[in-house]
């Protein structure tokens, strides 16, 4: 059972330089086609913190099209992971961990985020068999080792304001935050899809999906861990699933998912593009981070789709010498 203590630093005395502690808080305004992301990544044994804040308002394959981007890899680590004051301008407080958080951010260009995050469920522990049917069977895609790691996801209600380029928007969304800890090698990120979906007011999903880009159709993506939050009840999703994505370069241009919970109920989810941009979530993580328009059994919704390529995977297939031909054709 995840408690408040799991949101403090988890590293032990023998942890080495690969040990990582992270938090991710998205802030979306679907009706305004806006997606902000606050990411905290700490290497506690090294005493350093990496922060990112980005705001996206269009569909692009270039970070140059973002409305706001602020990043620093070389910040002092906080003394307390439950009370983060970053020189980047980001302030995070655990008001009542593990469910209640406050996020404040202010930048000289006028970009501001001021939101309360209230969890609607107990954090979903992918390593707990009582929550995830695949616990102890499937890998933790967020880590490159087995054992000694942690990863939790939590659907919550996000309320407050997002200001960018002189426009202030009310935030009232249903979304998913996450918390990870454990050894993580920066060059061992895997190919994967991470999908979080909301159909207001009380239906939400989260799916962690390994992806094999060399395969086609429904053979390429599997369901490893996930849950459905349905009317206040949380149920794990089973491995049985049918998932198919469509692509254009880095972009996910369509996603169809048939998933089943532990009670045998089936859900059909379909997504089309809205906005999104590249996100470099780590040295080897080539991610397109999108807010897509969903339907869930016919209900309208929205959701975040993180399509991640492993850079070593891409290098192995695309790396070439100057005298080798490229497959690209320009007309």
What is the mean pLDDT of the segment spanning 16-24? 96
- Long-range Cβ contacts of 88-92 (<8 Å, 24+ apart): 88/51, 88/53, 89/53, 90/38, 90/40, 90/51, 90/53, 92/23, 92/25, 92/38, 92/40
Residue 93: phi, psi to the nearest 5? -125, 135
Whole-number Cα distances in Å, 323 to 117, 319, 329: 53, 12, 16
**Percent of all residues in the chain with a pLDDT value above 70, rounded to a whole number:** 95
What is the mean pLDDT of the segment spanning 143-161? 85
Does residue 254 carry a pLDDT above 70?
Answer: yes
What is d(CA 223, CA 27) in angstroms, rounded to the nearest whole number?
Answer: 25
Query: Looking at per-residue confidence, does 247 or 140 come out higher?
Result: 247
Q: For the segment 59-88, what is each residue's pLDDT rounded down to a tens digit?
A: 999 999 999 999 999 999 999 999 999 999
Yes or no: say if 228 and 238 are a contact pair by the CB < 8 Å rule: no
Q: For the segment 257-305, what is each residue's pLDDT rounded down to a tens digit?
A: 999 999 999 999 999 999 999 999 899 999 999 999 999 999 999 999 9
What is the mean pLDDT of the segment spanning 160-166? 97
Separation of first and last alpha carbons in the chain: 57
Around Cβ 325, how many Cβ atoms within 10 Å? 6
Which residue matches tokens 């939790």?
Answer: 152
Q: Which of 285, 113, 268 is nearest to 186 (CA)?
A: 285
pLDDT in the model for residue 325: 85
> pLDDT class for 330, splitting at 50, 70, 90?
low
Whole-number Cα distances in Å, 33 to 43, 45, 105, 247, 273: 33, 39, 20, 21, 11
């Amino acid at each position: 059972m995840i408690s408040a203590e799991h949101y403090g630093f988890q590293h032990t005395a023998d942890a080495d330089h690969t040990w990582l502690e992270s938090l991710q808080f998205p802030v979306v305004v679907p009706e305004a086609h806006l997606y902000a992301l606050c990411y905290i990544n700490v290497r506690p044994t090294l005493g350093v913190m990496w922060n990112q804040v980005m705001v996206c308002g269009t569909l692009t394959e270039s970070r140059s099209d973002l409305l706001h981007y602020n990043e620093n890899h070389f910040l002092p680590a906080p003394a307390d992971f439950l009370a983060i004051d970053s020189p980047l301008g980001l302030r995070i407080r655990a008001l009542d961990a593990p469910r209640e958080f406050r996020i404040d951010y202010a930048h000289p260009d006028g970009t501001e985020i001021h939101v309360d995050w209230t969890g609607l469920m107990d954090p979903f522990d992918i390593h707990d068999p009582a929550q995830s049917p695949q616990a102890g069977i499937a890998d933790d895609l967020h880590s490159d080792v087995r054992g000694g790691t942690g990863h939790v996801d939590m659907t919550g209600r996000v309320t407050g304001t997002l200001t960018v380029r002189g426009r202030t928007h009310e935030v009232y969304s249903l979304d998913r935050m996450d918390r990870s800890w454990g050894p993580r090698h920066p060059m061992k990120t895997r190919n994967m899809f991470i999908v979080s979906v909301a159909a207001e007011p009380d239906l939400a999903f989260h799916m962690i999906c390994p992806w094999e880009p060399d395969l086609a159709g429904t053979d390429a993506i599997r369901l490893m861990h996930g849950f459905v939050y349905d009317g206040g009840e949380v149920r794990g999703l089973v491995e049985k699933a049918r998932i198919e994505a469509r692509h254009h370069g880095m972009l996910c241009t369509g996603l169809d998912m048939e998933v089943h919970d532990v009670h045998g109920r089936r859900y059909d989810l379909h997504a089309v593009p809205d906005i999104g941009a590249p996100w470099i979530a780590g040295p080897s993580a080539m991610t397109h981070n999108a807010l897509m328009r969903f339907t869930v059994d016919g209900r309208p919704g929205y959701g975040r789709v993180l399509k991640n390529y492993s850079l070593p995977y891409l290098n192995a297939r695309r790396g070439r010498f100057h005298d080798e031909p490229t497959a690209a054709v320009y007309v």
